[in-house]
Amino acid sequence: MHLTEQQVCTLLQATPATLSLYVATRRLNVTRKRTLRGLVASYDQREVEALRKELHEDQEFIQKRFGNGKSSSKTVEAEIVDFEFDSTDAKGMNSFVPTSAPVIERLLTLLEGLTPSGYPTVAIEKKLLLTLSEAAAFSGLSEAKLNQAIRAGELTARKDLGRGHRIKRSDIERYVKSL
């Protein structure tokens, strides 16, 4: 027996966007037929029931593991990520993200682990050369104040072509002490 999109959304207690996500991630198959009304999507009832059971088991696992307390989903997801470190990617970095996490949170978790061009991130307090915005964050002064100090000659900075100013961390520390 085939179900309509609305019936599937009701059974799974999901929105049409979530249903589209299940189809895109191949957790659920859809059959589309052209009718007089346009394209009509239908879903196999057995597949929908299997997905419903899988989602229910995920929910039971979360309730057993973390209880029925009224904690935010971010707390639960963070605990799940901390709890299940079982898969690593080619670089040895942890790549586990629970499938029960909302899509945006999963993407953010994955993006936080990435760095541009594969270079490791360095904390501002360990950098020798700082950009103007990093210098502002490091010193607690505004970028406008730092620009003013550079123009007045109170703070030495070098101008990188097309990349703004680069300021030595030691020069920033010296300037802040002189205030």
Three-class secondary structure of residue 19 per DSSP: helix
pTM equals 0.38
Give all domains of the chain, ordered by start, each with its CATH number: 2-54 (1.10.1660), 71-118 (no CATH), 124-178 (1.10.1660.10)
Identify residue 62 by its one-letter amino acid code.
Answer: I
How long is the chain? 179
101-157, pLDDT tens digit by residue?
A: 566 766 666 666 665 655 666 777 777 888 888 888 888 888 889 989 988 989 888
pLDDT digits (tens, 9 = 90+) for 20-37: 888 888 888 888 888 887
How do residues 71-104 score in pLDDT, each as one tens digit? 444 444 444 444 444 444 444 444 455 555 566 7
The SS3 call for residue 104 is: helix
